[in-house]
Chains A and B, each alone.
Chain A
Amino acid sequence: MKPVLLLLALLTAAAAPRSGYDDASPETRAMQDDDDANPGFLWVREGEAQWSKPAGPDGKSCASCHHDATISMRGVAARYPLIDTVSEQPMTLDQRIAQCREERQRADPLPPESEAALGLSAYVGLQSRGMPLHVRADSPFVAAGRRLFETRLGQLNLSCAQCHDERAGMKLGGATIPQGHPNGYPEYRLEWQAMGSLYRRLRDCMTGVRAEPFAPESLQAAELALYLAVRAEGLKVETPAVRP
């Protein structure tokens, strides 16, 4: 029995990643496909306004340096998380935006999960929509992220892999368990009735297995995000995605 299970696990791992879009209902997919119906675009428009809104003592906006986001931010979200050359640590797109705001604009940080922060992230992400995720996989942080993904956590003693690798496509209650790819963040979840970041998703999953969630700025959260991106290699960016 065991070798069969192992073979099955290997086959699942080798198959092409499947976006959560393909597991969503036709209604949810239709919502994502129509930019006028996708509530994520409410946040995108907020982000577009933020892009050229001056902040900090020098009155600089994102546009002061990066000019037209539709050109300068094209493909950026598909490369994140990456290993920051200065800190030599993995860095997510949300962390990069926050860093830019604090160090370059010298402005007050945007509160995490705020309309403005999610909006900016969604607006930047949108510029890579349809492009395949491609993140450098040759750092030790990827292996560390994979270990976290496969580590049992919390009172329920479950790892990410047990649901999203081994049981993807099966049911949890009435819902199909997706493979858990990060290709649409920040995304609009009908369950939240709001936009949320990848970190919010991870936090909710970890609370779900009754574990203490990684802190938002922790190395672990970034490593896990990095491994998820490597795992989703080749999936198209869908930001702002709509999910149940």
Chain B
Amino acid sequence: MVRVLLNAPKQVPKGQPFNVKLLISHPMESGQRRDAMGMAIPRHIINQIVCKLDEEEVFRMNLFPAIAANPFLVFSATAEQSGTLTITFTDDNGVEQTETTPVEVV
């Protein structure tokens, strides 16, 4: 489990775009570096982030090694009805983590 800050407005107007902010604590090791002994440090990055509002996918992103450690992401979404925003990300070690936050349409 890594530490994640997921921030979306608690209440959003129906059909209006709102911003989702996501900050993930992750080394995002590029695989290009070598350690003090000259051995290659294996690549270890988050490679995919998927955001769903209930069952509907609203955002998907593939990540590549050029993204810095502790990536910060902002994207927008719209909601027609209240639901749960679910963010799932997967890293190179196959670790999958899910964060959720409720969104209420007013």
Contact = CB atoms under 8 A, between A and B. Distances in A.
A194 B5 CA distance: 16
Chain A interface mostly:
mixed
B70 interface: yes
B21 interface: yes
Contacts of B68: 190, 193
Interface residues of A, number: 11
A42 B70 contact: yes
A113 interface: no
A41 B70 CA distance: 11
A20 B88 CA distance: 36
B3 A42 contact: yes
A37 B3 contact: no
Contacts of A39: 23, 25, 70, 72
A193 B70 contact: yes
Given A42-B3, A42-B5, A45-B5, A194 B69 contact: yes
Nearest to A188: B70
A86 B44 CA distance: 47
B69 A193 contact: yes
A109 B60 CA distance: 42
B7 interface: yes
Nearest to A45: B3
Highest count of chain B CB atoms <10 Å: which of A31, A37, A194: A37
A45 B24 CA distance: 12
B69 A36 contact: no
Given A36-B5, A36-B7, A46-B3, A41 B23 contact: yes
A42 B23 contact: yes
A46 B5 CA distance: 11
Highest count of chain A CB atoms <10 Å: which of B5, B21, B74: B5
A46 B25 CA distance: 11
Given A37-B23, A39-B25, A46-B3, 15 more contacts: A36-B7, A36-B23, A37-B21, A39-B23, A39-B70, A39-B72, A41-B5, A41-B23, A42-B3, A42-B5, A42-B25, A45-B3, A193-B68, A193-B69, A194-B70
